[in-house]
Amino acid sequence: MENCIFCKIARKEIPANKIYEDKDILAFNDINPAAPVHFLLIPKLHIDSLIDVQDIHQSLLGKMLSLAPQLAKEQGCENGFRTIINTGPAGGQEIFHLHFHIIGGREHLPGMIHTG
């Protein structure tokens, strides 16, 4: 997508603090981190959101999921991390390019869902 900020980062039109890149995937630090470790893992292929994933994307998503723990450990998340995929407006997605948030670096992250 021409105006997608993550596509522009993947095309190197916008700088990012990259931590990993191959022909299919890019990982870079979040510009507004929620924890000591907070990076985004994106496919270079533009997919709007998880709701738009199709069978042809299985190997790409599998590659992303298997890469996530490796990168998290390299970034210092030895005791675990949180993986978040916000999907659609109701799911809190702000950038409509599929991306995984990998968050960690603390002893224990706060809970995510509050009841009340």
Q: Per the domain annotation, does 61 fall within a domain? A: yes
Number of domains into which the chain is organized: 1
Q: Per the domain annotation, does 116 fall within a domain? A: no
Q: Per the domain annotation, does 113 fall within a domain? A: no
Q: What is the pLDDT of residues 59-97, one digit of tens each?
A: 999 999 999 999 999 999 999 999 999 999 999 999 999
Which residue range forms the structural domain that includes residue 33? 5-104
Q: Per the domain annotation, does 83 fall within a domain? A: yes
pTM above 0.85, yes or no: yes
What are the residue numbers of the active site? 99
Q: Which pLDDT score, from 0 to 100, does residue 102 have?
A: 97
Say which residue, 10 or 111, is predicted with more confidence: 10
List residues bridging with 83 in a β-sheet.
102
Q: Which pLDDT score, from 0 to 100, does residue 9 have?
A: 97
- DSSP alpha helix (H) spans, the chain: 5-10, 58-74
Reported as a pLDDT band with limits 50, 70 and 90, residue 111 is confident
Residue 113 has pLDDT above 70, yes or no: no
Q: For residues 40 and 28, what is the distance between their CA atoms, to the nearest angstrom?
A: 5
Give the DSSP letter of residue 11.
T
Q: What is the pLDDT of residues 35-62, one digit of tens each?
A: 999 999 999 999 999 999 999 999 999 9
Q: Are 40 and 85 in contact (CB under 8 A)?
A: no
Residue 108 has pLDDT above 80, yes or no: no
Q: For residues 85 and 115, what is the distance between their CA atoms, to the nearest angstrom?
A: 20
Q: The domain spanning residue 18 has which CATH number?
A: 3.30.428.10
Q: Which pLDDT score, from 0 to 100, does residue 12 have?
A: 96
Q: Which pLDDT score, from 0 to 100, does residue 115 have?
A: 60
Q: Per the domain annotation, does 81 fall within a domain? A: yes
